[in-house]
Structure 1
Amino acid sequence: MSALPLIAVVGLTFEEAIIAAPGIVVVRGGDGSRLDAALEAALANGARGLISFGIAGGLAPHAPCGTVAVATEVVHGEERYTCDPDWTLALLKKLPDALDGVFAGVSAPVTTPEAKAALHQATGAITVDMESHKVARAAAKHGLPFAALRAISDPAERALPPSALVGMTPEGQTNAGAVMRSLARRPQDLPGLIRAGLDVKTATAALLRSRESLGPLLGLLLD
């Protein structure tokens, strides 16, 4: 078996805690501004494959909160990346209830049902996140297998209130103080913020179940 690690890219601290394990190097993207450089630094030591892992926004109307999705392709503007077919098939075999399809990559959160519907119509994507396209691009550059697995936290019909977005730091951590200050200015955000918190809890439970099913190297076939 290759001694090279698997590189897993996440956006948030709690996602890192779920996926971290021996043989896996975790790169946290946070707001994405430093992800490209962090990925290149991790790849300098070699890798056997890259996977994008965590929660995502839902774009497909038939994908409720907590749906686990496995990418077949990742699209970002005019860019289109095909996921490693063997690895993708292995993930789907281990997660028979998972939804497979296109993932959309974006540089800023997609927060309203209208914007999600437009992105779904334009791309055919079932989920959206801010890391997968960067991971796919790096994998293509270095000739490495790539996969993506996400659990839907905010489904297509759900809007994310502004107070939910200010709570994320560039490092992918939660800033409770920023959330409280935002709520003081926008108390109307409270119901949506509570709903978003419950949705993240549901998606996190789905990620944990998936992680337990995938084994040490997340379905990546051994040499």
Structure 2
Amino acid sequence: MPDKIIGIVAAMEQEAQAICPVSEKSMLGKFELLSGILPDGNKFLCIISGIGTERAKQAATLLADKKPSLILSAGVSGGLARGTAAGDLLAASTIHSELTDFEPWHESDQDEELRNKLLPAYGRIPSGPMITVSAPVLTTKDKNALHDTTGALAADMESIAVATAAATAGIPFACIRAISDGADRAIPAESLNGVTPDGKTQLMPILKAIFTHPTLIFELIPMGMDYSKALKSLGKIFI
């Protein structure tokens, strides 16, 4: 029986490398693609979409053309629920969005069946509602408010688009996210300049921001440590 293929959509290069550390690189359209074999012998194709729903939907649609058995949206997310901490893994049971272009996603029986077979770790991960937003949620006040109004445990900027592309192609979908900033962690807006639209990191804008506002480093250092915890957790998805 041929090995099954798990399609993975990750917004950022660092996320993809954390999830799939041993892989071969190629291109699928304008997107970088990592491929290889998982510990259980199944194959993976991990496409790096870049930031936002438009790029995520494009990337997921291309990935769906490869006919994977399951499409997984994976990466880091901002925690919304009080008590979420950096490094926590969360699985989505539903995904809503403030973006009107997308219908909510609810896990189906087929989704559950396939992710139980192909993602053994899924059953050990707490699950609940998530939300896809159009812009990062930076302040603790906004995080708490978004949780209180929607019930979402975490927020990202891509998963609803990936879920939509998977549904359109008739492919089961799952979503696992690692918390990079807990509900009690505010994110300085300057940190957003360190990520390009195609999901790569760039250091120079951050260094310039620190030069202009030296005290910023005291916010960025713990934020970076939390981000590292999230990446480490992403590496456990297929273990």
TM-score range, shorter chain: 0.7 to 0.9
Describe how 1:1-223 pairs up with structure 2 within 5 A.
1=1, 5-20=5-20, 21-22=36-37, 23-32=43-52, 33-77=54-98, 79-83=103-107, 84-87=111-114, 89=116, 94=121, 97-211=124-238, 213=239
**Following the alignment from structure 1 to structure 2, what is the Cα–Cα distance between the partners of residues 67 and 35?**
23
**Following the alignment from structure 1 to structure 2, what is the Cα–Cα distance between the partners of residues 161 and 8?**
29
Q: What's the offset of the Cα at 1:117?
A: 1.0
Residues 66-120 of structure 1: per-residue CA shift (max 9 Å, x gap): 1111111111136310122234556886356522101111121111111111111
Query: Counterpart of 1:58 in structure 2: which amino acid?
Result: G
Shift in alpha-carbon separation, 1:188–1:162, aligned structure 2, 3 A: farther
Query: Counterpart of 2:206 in structure 1: which amino acid?
Result: V
SS in 2 for 1:209: coil
Query: Counterpart of 2:151 in structure 1: which amino acid?
Result: G
Runs of 4+ in 1 over 6 A off after TM superposition: none
Q: Which moved more, 1:175-184 or 1:34-43?
A: 34-43
Q: What's the offset of the Cα at 1:208?
A: 1.7
Q: Which moved more, 1:23-32 or 1:147-156?
A: 23-32
Report if the CA contact (8 A) 1:71-1:147 is conserved. yes
**Following the alignment from structure 2 to structure 1, what is the Cα–Cα distance between the partners of residues 2 and 167?**
20
**Following the alignment from structure 2 to structure 1, what is the Cα–Cα distance between the partners of residues 148 and 113?**
28
Q: What's the offset of the Cα at 1:136?
A: 0.8
**Following the alignment from structure 1 to structure 2, what is the Cα–Cα distance between the partners of residues 80 and 189?**
37
**Following the alignment from structure 2 to structure 1, what is the Cα–Cα distance between the partners of residues 131 and 95?**
6
Residues 31-53 of structure 1: per-residue CA shift (max 9 Å, x gap): 22422222222222322221011
Gaps of 5+ in 1: 214-223
Report if the CA contact (8 A) 1:68-1:97 is conserved. no
Report if the CA contact (8 A) 1:70-1:91 is conserved. no
SS in 1 for 2:90: strand
Residues 142-189 of structure 1: per-residue CA shift (max 9 Å, x gap): 121100111111000111112211100112111101111122223232
**Following the alignment from structure 2 to structure 1, what is the Cα–Cα distance between the partners of residues 122 and 164?**
25
TM-score (norm 2): 0.81
Q: What's the offset of the Cα at 1:9?
A: 0.6
Gaps of 5+ in 2: 21-35, 38-42
Q: Once superposed, what is the RMSD of the aligned Cα atoms?
A: 2.1
Query: Counterpart of 2:10 in structure 1: which amino acid?
Result: V
Q: What's the offset of the Cα at 1:210?
A: 3.1
Report if the CA contact (8 A) 1:57-1:128 is conserved. yes
Number of paired residues? 212
Query: Counterpart of 1:40 in structure 2: which amino acid?
Result: T
**Following the alignment from structure 2 to structure 1, what is the Cα–Cα distance between the partners of residues 166 and 122?**
23
Q: What's the offset of the Cα at 1:123?
A: 1.4
**Following the alignment from structure 1 to structure 2, what is the Cα–Cα distance between the partners of residues 190 and 130?**
26
